[in-house]
Chain A
């Protein structure tokens, strides 16, 4: 079975500061890993994904994440937070090394302080 752990249900950063959202996973097969963003009362939007190849993945809105197999981590970062980044972020892992069943973490709510 696959699982995802997101450390910190709430993270607050100042505008312009570094954003770091943590995600650790467990998987019995080489994982596909994802970060999604959710704005209030909306669905999820894919920020970035790791499948194979380069371990540093760049996504939309200036976000990036690095797959570290030895640490079973896939932390999400952004050098400089914008007010518009305030949202809930979900890390997810697929359970078959593909895009079949996806398991989500419990989410991290990002607050950006002006």
Chain B
């Protein structure tokens, strides 16, 4: 089946530093990837839609300069949290859709970010 690998699974960083999270589709090509943020005991909130070879589409209220998304290939999208603050601490999950119009989402295992 389609596998999405997300790395790292956990990361701790200091305030003011930047953190990069990778999302890879291992056995399929993904023209579209989605980045979600999940606060404790809450649902997943879509942050942005990442399209291969073009700029990401951000949801309302998400700072694009703070959450940089790059989708440089059909198998890799990255989310960089720039100048991280403690309030950015959260669980970030990516998902990818197999290229084509009628395929479901496959999720990575998430990244637990803690900013100290």
* Contact residues in B for A41 (Cβ distance below 8 Å): 9, 91, 109-110, 112
- Quote the shortest CB–CB distance from B60 to chain A (angstroms): 12
How many interface residues does chain A have, given as a range? 20 to 34
The A interface is mostly helix, strand or loop, or mixed, namely loop
1/0 contact trace for B89-108 toward A, CB 8 Å?
00101010100011111111
- Docked Cα-Cα span, A86 to B92, in Å, equals 22
- B44 in the interface (beta carbon within 8 A): yes
Decide: A99 near B97, CB < 8 A? Known: A41-B112, A43-B108, A43-B109. Answer: yes
The B interface is mostly helix, strand or loop, or mixed, namely strand
Say yes or no: A42 contacts B103, CB within 8 Å.
no
A39, closest chain B residue (CB)? B109
- B74 in the interface (beta carbon within 8 A): no
Which of A98, A102, A106, A107 lies in contact with B102, CB distance below 8 A?
Answer: A98
A49, closest chain B residue (CB)? B104
- B13 in the interface (beta carbon within 8 A): no
Say yes or no: B46 contacts A43, CB within 8 Å.
no
Say yes or no: A106 contacts B6, CB within 8 Å.
no
- Quote the shortest CB–CB distance from A88 to chain B (angstroms): 9
- A45 in the interface (beta carbon within 8 A): yes
- B49 in the interface (beta carbon within 8 A): yes
* Contact residues in B for A106 (Cβ distance below 8 Å): 42-43
Apart from A41-B9, A104-B44, A107-B42, what are 8 other A-B pairs with CB-CB below 8 Å? A9-B41, A36-B107, A43-B6, A44-B93, A44-B107, A99-B101, A101-B34, A101-B46
